[in-house]
Amino acid sequence: MDGYSLEIPSDWYSYIGYHEVFHSPKSIMESNVEDQKVTITVFIVENVESKINFFKNEIKTNNIFVNTNFEKKIIKTTKYGDALILKYGSIWDSINYTNLYLYYYHKNKIYKLHLKGSNEHYKEFLDQAITIMDSFKVKE
pLDDT digits (tens, 9 = 90+) for 95-131: 888 889 898 888 888 898 999 998 888 999 999 999 9
Domain that holds residue 72: 4-138
pLDDT digits (tens, 9 = 90+) for 8-17: 999 998 888 7
Q: State pTM to two decimals.
A: 0.82
Secondary structure element (H or E) that encloses residue 16, with its range: strand 12-17
Residues 4 and 18: their CA atoms lie apart, in Å, by 18
Task: For residue 25, give the CATH number of its domain.
Answer: 3.40.1000.10
- Our count of domains for the chain comes to 1
Question: Using H for helix, E for strand and C for coil, what is the string for 39-58?
Answer: EEEEEEECCCCCHHHHHHHH
